[in-house]
Amino acid sequence: MDKSYSTEIKISVRPEAVYQALTNRIDKWWTESANEARQVGDKLVVRFEKATCWQMIVLEASKNQLLIWQVLEANHDLDKIARKDEWKDTSIQWRIETTEVGSKLILTHQGLVPTLQCFEICQSGWDYFLGSLKSFLETGKGYPFKAAAA
């Protein structure tokens, strides 16, 4: 069985700030075209270039500890990917732990496995946006995706 993508980062802010960024400030580190999703049942929609869009629902929300999004709809609009909905039915799990200097954030994208066409693109995408999240939390400035001006 393929192992799902998982990584962790250390961030020098308290778990409360990390949780807030994952629920209320997604537009500051992932994509400017994202809404808030704070509690179980909330829908999260994130959009990128062209028609790339993911719709998720919050499955679990344990304040300052755990957040799980289930991907309901997916459209990864890249020419080199034949199956545009590879994220559909995957789940994105954010586990937050307290450390001596702040927090450890463990991201596991359950179902994002090496056999998917989008795996390498998504792996580097997650690495980039986790860097953006860390930067946003530690400096106040992230680098979310910005839609091109029309």
pLDDT for residue 80? 87
Weakly modelled stretches of the chain, pLDDT under 50: none
Cα distance from N-terminal residue to C-terminal residue, the chain? 44
Query: pLDDT, tens digit, for every residue of 28-62?
Result: 999 999 999 999 999 999 999 778 999 999 999 99
If one counts the domains in the chain, the total is 1
How is residue 65 written in tokens? Answer: 């500890």
Of all helices (H) and strands (E), which one includes residue 74?
strand 66-75
Structural domain includes residue 144:
no
Structural domain includes residue 21:
yes
Specify the CATH number for the domain of residue 117.
3.30.530.20
How is residue 19 written in tokens? Answer: 């949780």
Q: 111 Cβ partners below 8 Å, 6+ apart?
A: 4, 87, 89, 90, 91
Residue span of the structural domain in which 30 resides: 5-139
Structural domain includes residue 62:
yes
